[in-house]
Amino acid sequence: MLTHRVFAAFVVFIAIALWAGGGPPATRGGSGPMVAGIQTGARLDDAAGRIEARGFSVERRLDDLHALEVSSATSSAVDAARALTAIEGVRYAEPVTGVAVADYPGDPLYSDQSSYLQAVNAPQAWDITTGAPDVLVAVIDTGVDVLHADLKANIWFNPREIPNNGYDDDGNGCVDDVSGCAFVSDSAPGCANVTNGLVRDEIGHGTFVAGIIAAPANGQGMVGVARNVKIMPVKVLDCYGSGDSVATARGIVYAARNGAKILNLSLGGLEDAQVVRDAVAEAMNVYGALVIAATGNSGTSGVAFPARIPEVLGVGAASASADRRAAFSSYGPEVDVVAVGEDVVGPIGQSLCNVFLLCIGGQPYAEGDGTSFSTPQVSGLAALLLSLNRGLTPAQITDVIRNSATPLRAGETGVGAGRIDMAAAVKAVQGNHPPGSACVVQSVEDGESFTCGGQRIRMLQMDAPDLGQCGGQWAKDALANIFLTPGRTVYLRYDSTRVDPAGRSLAAPLWRGNDGNDYNLAIIMVYVGLAKASDVGAGNLAFHDWSFASETWARTVGWNMWAPGKTFAGGC
């Protein structure tokens, strides 16, 4: 029985390496200076007088922010924030925090990378996270050069397998898979069949992809999008870069069953294959792994398979100028997002310099074009998001990446939600960590306090809708049955610098439902219906103390259960 052939598409491009020097300046910091936000309608001079009467010094007015910069001899920022927020007219208080030039790796080829990495705001995202070593990304491709100087530190090691003993020690179906597994048993003429733990890369494509994702910042070569995560090499393509649906499906299943949460497939074909669809479904639904695939380099309508599977995050390519689709990028409704796919830098084996791409200055690195190389940028972004929150589901990661993307110019087709914005996506996850601490509490009414993990918490006071508003009576009646009933496990999202006059942290409670979603119980009073935490939207919530941060986050990720700017009163 014939199997469907799957091909890895790539375009050769040659560039010259430039050296990058310097580094970020020292950051400004310290817990002394504070910013006190003043309530709308309150006069700054009146607030300043009350603040100074409490022993603080007002250093300057921030009229454009309707705030005051304050200094204090108090050693603790938390204590200062607590005292300031107890003063009439102060809406919030927080330390003045330091900022610096965005993360600028010292790897020599970073100057070649900077144009496309800056286009997707990677350096700003790196100020928040550069990835965590327990996040595992599978590169399902031609294999990976696991000894490459710019990759070997970030290659997955299987602790359950004894190297080179010819046995499947961990019983996962792959012999000697210390660093991954190969499934090439039906290779093209001229290529050897390669199976079990032999993940060597015979042309360099998979090595190139792996470097885009996770090359470390080690002072040599280039740097990956998620420089601290681990790569699991899974070889499903032969020495010509071709393979079939069976090998691809086996590679997907192997990666998911062995702990990879992000699966990068910079490959695709024209024909559909149920065996691959089944593998994708198992990876995502059983193991919670996100599959990310290239949409193809045909330059015409028609997204490649498996990128056109609805659950797969399909990635196209933007031009180097980043404001339009690259001419070679396949297009169609299945494209979710694009990343820059031209002049992308990646590592290849020294002995493969003229096999796949021409090396830069004789070094084991090259530049290339293609959706094969835009896709691992998105996989790296997904790994950054997981590094911040291990509980994110594949659907949530996809939503964050899509909703934080930058739309391209009007009328541009085949770009999905637009060009990825790594900083916006990372900030969206950073600002919304569901769930936080977990507690089992007795019935707690709006505004009351309880203890969680030794910390005294006050539930955020909410604005209940008037009875004349749509759903107002329903929302009030629902409290008796839904709102923090005895014995319910409740998760908390809180900021330790947000305190009430009694010194209690202010928190928004979450409840994890049987469907695995997190529900924000605090906004039951302003929503018609039980609302998911991800439904928090600008214009339709009434958090005292958290409304600005919540609405900013909602606008960033584009989540709004009604429509942008549509308030509760008009959302019947």
Q: Minimal CA–CA distance to 505: which of 475, 464, 546?
A: 546
- 442-447: list long-range contacts, CB under 8 Å, 24+ apart: 442/486, 442/487, 443/484, 443/485, 443/486, 444/484, 445/483, 445/484, 446/479, 446/483, 446/525
Q: Minimal CA–CA distance to 295: which of 339, 255, 251, 237?
A: 339
Q: Which amino acid is at 274?
A: Q
The maximal CA–CA distance of the chain, rounded, in angstroms, is 86
Calculate the alpha carbon distances from 483 to 368, 510, 524 in Å. Answer: 55, 10, 8
447-471 exposure pattern, b = at least 16 Cβ within 10 A, e = fewer: eeebebeeeebbbbbbebbeeebeb
Reduced DSSP (H G I as helix, E B as strand, rest coil) percent helix, strand, coil of the chain, to 5: 25, 20, 50
Helix orientation angle between 245-257 and 274-281, rounded to the nearest 10 degrees: 10
Who's near 341: CB < 8 A, 6+ residues apart?
A: 316, 317, 318, 319, 326, 328, 329, 369, 370, 371, 373, 374
Evaluate whether 103 touches 308 at the Cβ level (below 8 Å). no
Read out DSSP for 300-367? SB-PPBTTTSTTSEEEEEE-TTSSSB-TT--BSTT--EEEE-SSEEEE--GGGTTTTS--STTSSEEE
Question: For the chain, how far is it from start to end, CA to CA, in angstroms?
Answer: 57
Burial (CB count <10 Å: 0-12, 13-18, 19+), residue 417: buried
Who's near 74: CB < 8 A, 6+ residues apart?
A: 80, 83
Residues designated as active site: 141, 205, 372
The edge-to-edge listing of strands for the beta sheet with 262-265 is 194-196, 181-184, 230-235, 136-141, 262-265, 290-294, 313-318, 337-340
Per the document, the length of the chain is: 572
Evaluate whether 414 touches 325 at the Cβ level (below 8 Å). yes
In sequence order, the β-bridge partners of residue 337 are 315
